[in-house]
Structure 1
Amino acid sequence: MSKENFWARDLGAGQRVRSTFLARDASVRNDSRGVPYLSTMLLDKTGSIDARMWGLPQELLGGIPEPGYVHVEGQTHEYRGMLQLKVERLRVLRADEVSEEDYLPVSEQDRRAMAAEVLEAGWSFRDDNLAELFGLIASDKDLWDAFCEAPAAKTMHHARLGGLLEHSLQCMRVAKSLAKLYPVNRDLLVFCAIFHDVGKVRELSWDLGGFAYTTEGRLIGHVVLGERVISDYIEQLPDFPKELALHISHILLAHQGEQQFGSPEIPKTLEAILVHFIDNMDARLGMYAESTKNVTDGGWSHHDNPLRRALYVPENPESRWNSPSEAT
């Protein structure tokens, strides 16, 4: 069964929907009367919509398996400033009934153009050692293809094919701007802004109908995996300065900022501090963008989003979020 009738991006309030989606974060909850209902996010490669279903049949009281493909019928409406789908009928589909490529979210940005901009920055490094290291990484087709295709997260931010590249590109752009304002090693800052999350290519999988954590992703995490990836390439360059290699390892290991957030170390150099804040800023803005995508101007999002707070979209249409990767 291929995608039919509706794409998520085309939905508006007051529409009848009869279509198929990937159901994510599905859970059965109780309303204020104690009546169970299904809460889920319905996705396809164009976007997502929040969905609710009451009057659950017995087979849905246990929720929906992940990844869960569903055929739904219902009506869209605006609820507290957010677009929502009230599901009237829902059928869980088998994986062989769908075309998976219709349901994995995909970056709206041109991946070739994004990759070309990152490559241009890397080829322009004045530090010969970093230029050689960048060239070695970019010439590894398997690694580079995965870097350009991977999501940046399972759900939190830039959770779409090409999301890691989109996030890395924006961090690179911010790093280049900050290098003009602070006394940093520019090439080191930009290099680590690009590759701070490279461990995501081994932490996540995206080829089985959804985004999931790999075994080594669960056991080790992208922070350590990323440092190992870059260190492996450095070892292929026998004349690479040990001091520079040490600084790169520190930045990669410290970019989450705090140990409770997955950093083996906290940032202790200027470049490490900046990469942490650049990463954190773009990730949080990505969370805001995703959480307010279906919020009307002047409306509020739900509290149950990665930022754990209701988020406001001003009434001024000019304040509507545009993807940072559309910046020049």
Structure 2
Amino acid sequence: MAEDQLMTYAVGEQMNLMALLKNVTVRVAKNGKQYLDLTFEDRSGEITGKFWDASEADVERYQAGRVVRLTGKRETYQGSPQVKIVSLRLANADEPHEPGDFMIHAPMKTAEMEEELNQVIFEITNQVWNRIVRSLIAKHRDEFFSFPAAKRNHHAFEGGLAYHTLSILKLAHSVTSQYPNLNAPLLYAGAILHDLGKVTELSGPVSTQYTAQGNLIGHISLVDGEIVAACQELKLDVNSEDVVLLRHMVLAHHGLLEYGSPVRPRLLEAEVLHQLDELDASIMMMTNALDKTTPGNFGERLFAMDGRSFYRPSEGLTGKVDPEK
């Protein structure tokens, strides 16, 4: 019998478990009746489901961040896991009901991530960049190590922002070792700050939403403003080449104007940061999809990967050739 976790149930199996409502969206069906588009979460992963014919009381009752008792049937819709909801109710007081107990966490503890980050900061030998990085990380320390890196898609879990940053820094170490002409301190400083604006853009790790500042300004412009404010506080010349280069690293890291960057990369290190950011995010998205995919099949289509689905090879492949054939 499957354990009481979302992603341990097989397709067609009856589900009965506690889960967190990660996202809730009120929608209207073709028949004019409203329904709830739900995303359930626990430590094993996420699964979506639709609560049909939702009343106003249901809308008030089932809000993101609340724990529920879910019964239903595991299904697949367009290659993605889905639950056909049979019944739903809020958790009772004598049942597990703390949201944090159901949230996906970074695979590293906060203390481990902080230690790794501090080691890299010591490698930022340019004092201007070092002081700015230290100042902003100290200012946003709690949020940086607890926030996700996104609402959905990649690193959308508690601690995901710091974990994503450290993943890029590990890649950056490899690249700077291969290409010694790169300005390693600039690449490291840019990598640490590139997504720091998400501590303002996003609401937090529980039922993550975009804030008003996130929607109206965006994390790239937000962290650029933070860099300027830090320079003023630290009495650094905001017009110096050191500061301008660091700001460019942040402003250009999405690569294209249509992806949110005010400028395209015009520094070698800025282009490398953009590519490493893309690589880490893409690998995480593909890994998440393949983890939900049965071996020998294609997974769900990924909107952020041009709508492509990815194949999970069959298990037990050895590559051996039968000498008798």
**Shared topology, TM-score over 0.5?**
yes
Contact in 2 for aligned 1:13/1:77 (Cα 8 Å): yes
Q: 1:118, CA displacement in angstroms?
A: 1.2
Shift of 1:148: 0.9
Summarize the Cα distance change of 1:122–1:306 in structure 2 as closer, same or farther, 3 Å threshold.
Answer: same
Q: Is the 8 A contact 1:46 1:106 kept in 2?
A: no
Decide whether the 8 Å contact of 1:16 with 1:74 is kept in 2. Answer: yes
Of residues 81-90 and 288-297 in structure 1, the stretch that sits farther from structure 2 once superposed is 81-90
Within a 5 Å distance, the mapping from 1:73-222 to structure 2 comes to 73-76=71-74, 83-91=81-89, 98-138=97-137, 140=138, 142-182=139-179, 183-206=181-204, 209-222=206-219
Structure 2 residue aligned with 1:232:
229
- Please name the residue that 2:40 is paired with: 42
Kept after mapping to 1: 8 A contact 2:133/2:193 = no
Number of positions where the alignment pairs a residue of Structure 1 with one of Structure 2: 308
Query: Given that residues 129 and 240 in structure 1 are in contact (C-alpha distance below 8 angstroms), is that contact kept between their aligned partners in structure 2?
Result: no
- Compared CA separation, residues 133 and 285, structure 1 to 2 (3 A): same
Deviates more, 1:173-182 or 1:262-271: 173-182
SS at match of 2:296: coil
Offset from partner CA, 1:134-156 (integer Å, 9 cap, x none):
33334x2x411211111101112
Give the percent of matched residue pairs that are identical in Structure 1 and Structure 2: 26
Contact 2:79–2:298 (Cα < 8 Å) also in 1: yes
- Asked if structure 1 preserves the Cα contact closer than 8 Å seen for 2:286 and 2:310, the reply is no
Q: Deviations over 1:221-269 (max 9, x none)?
A: 1000011122222333335681110001111111111111111111111
Task: Give 3-state SS (helix, strand or coil) of 2:298's partner.
Answer: coil
Kept in 1: contact 2:35–2:53 (CA 8 A): no
Alpha-carbon distance change, 178 to 9 in structure 1, aligned in 2, over 3 angstroms: same
User: Contact between 1:127 and 1:187, CA under 8 Å: does it hold in 2?
Assistant: yes
**TM superposition score normalised by structure 2:** 0.80
Check if 1:250 corresponds to 2:248. Answer: yes
TM-score of the superposed pair, with normalisation by structure 1: 0.79
Query: Alignment partner of 2:39: what SS?
Result: strand
Residues 318 and 109 of structure 1: CA distance in aligned 2, closer, same or farther (over 3 Å) = farther
Q: Secondary structure at the match of 1:213?
A: coil
Consecutive unaligned residues in structure 1, runs of 5 or more: 320-328
Return closer, same or farther for 1:318/1:252 CA change in 2, 3 Å cut-off.
farther
Query: Residues 11, 276 of structure 1: CA spacing in aligned structure 2 closer, same or farther, 3 A cutoff?
Result: same
8 Å CA contact 2:15–2:71 kept in 1: the answer is yes
Corresponding residue for residue 293 of structure 2: 295
Match of 1:205, SS state, is coil
Hey, what's the Cα distance between the residues in 1 that align with 2:209 and 2:216? 13
Q: Deviations over 1:22-44 (max 9, x none)?
A: 3436576879xxxx997643212
Distance 2:228 2:84 in 1: 50
* Runs of 5+ consecutive residues of structure 2 not aligned to the other structure: 318-325
Superposition CA RMSD, Å: 3.5
Contact 1:17 1:74 in 2 (8 A): yes
Distance (whole Å) between structure 2 residues aligned to residue 316 and residue 233 of structure 1: 52
User: Hey, what does 1:59 align to over in structure 2?
Assistant: 55
Q: Structure 1 260/79 Cα, relative in aligned 2: closer, same or farther at 3 Å?
A: closer
DSSP-derived class of the 2:18 partner: strand
